[in-house]
Structures are given as structure tokens and as C-alpha cells.
Amino acid sequence: MREIRYIRGDATQPIGDGKKIIVHICNDIGRWGKGFVLALSARWPQPEKEYRDWYASGENFALGNAQLVAVAPQLWVANVIGQHKITNGKGGLPPVRYEAIQEGLRQVATFASARNASVHMPRIGCGLAGGTWDKIAPIIQQELTTTGIDVTVYDFN
């Protein structure tokens, strides 16, 4: 079993050789404009455009689904819908949906395995979505590293 590798750096500039997938979490209401998505949009217009088109189409746009967008040769961005709305719900429930993140990562794992790609990400689900890393890290282990996929998590400098 592989372990999650933690480094200081920018997840929009993944390190290493070979094919890579940058994973991040999106909401289920078609909003794009705060958090890590701003860094993605500053580098590539495609992930935002594809996410907005996906939302507008309504086709399979739901919690737990992942959309993989090519941004360069051997580099994709995975728009994973793992956040319900953008504000806390009843009883202060944060927008993060761990089960949806797990399902989305399962889809990313299938894509990554078929291409022998590594996965790169910030601490997904722990920013605006309100999740906690002690719940996210085991999901990453279960869906990605135990299946032999290399995962690097970036803590921004």
C-alpha cells in the first residue's frame, strides 16, 4: 500500500514525471469563484468552462460525480462534486459531503489506473466545504493509495 505524500507547494504545478490528475472539490449548484478554483482558473480556462457547461446540461451533474478535463498533454483536472450548496445547512452542517467525495475519488481512481497517472491535490474538502482532514485522508487512502495510485497533497506556502 502506498502512503499519501505531503509537500509544501502549489497543487496547480504538480511535481514529478508522467501523467497527472489534479483533484479538487466543486459544489452542486454550479458556482465557481472562491477558493482553489481561482488558482485553477488563473492557469487554465477549461476546468471552469467544462464545469459550467456540465452544470447547464444537467447530465450526470450530481453529488459524487467527477468530470475529468484535459488541460495539457498528460495533465487533467478532476472536478469532483463533493459539496452540497455553499453555506452551512440546518444545525450548522457544513457543505462537505464525505460520501460524495468518496464516490468521486472512486471515479478518479478508475481514470487514473487506466492511464497510470498520479493524483495531486490541495487538502480537498477542508477549505470552503468545511470538512476535516481526519475524515478526508482515510477516504483518499481507501480509494486511491490502496489501489496503487501515487497521491501528493500540497500545502500552499
Q: How many residues does the chain have?
A: 157
Give the pLDDT confidence score for residue 149 in this predicted structure: 98
The number of domains in the chain is 1
Closest residue by Cα to residue 29 from 12, 3, 52: 52
Average pLDDT over residues 96-110: 98
Average pLDDT over residues 98-122: 98
Range of the domain at 43: 5-155
For residue 79, list its beta bridge partners: 24, 67
Angle at 55 between CA 11 and CA 124, to 5 degrees: 25
* Amino acid letter for position 124: I
pLDDT level of residue 157 (50, 70, 90 thresholds): confident
Phi, psi of 114 (to 5 degrees): -65, -20
Tens digit of each residue's pLDDT (9 = 90 or more) over 11-55? 999 999 999 999 999 999 999 999 999 999 999 999 999 999 999
Residues 82/129, Cβ–Cβ less than 8 Å: yes
Give the pLDDT confidence score for residue 1 in this predicted structure: 73
For residue 78, list its beta bridge partners: 23, 68
The pTM of the whole model exceeds 0.75? yes
Tens digit of each residue's pLDDT (9 = 90 or more) over 117-127? 999 999 999 99
DSSP per position, 63-93: TT-EEEEEEETTEEEEEEEEESSSS--GGG-
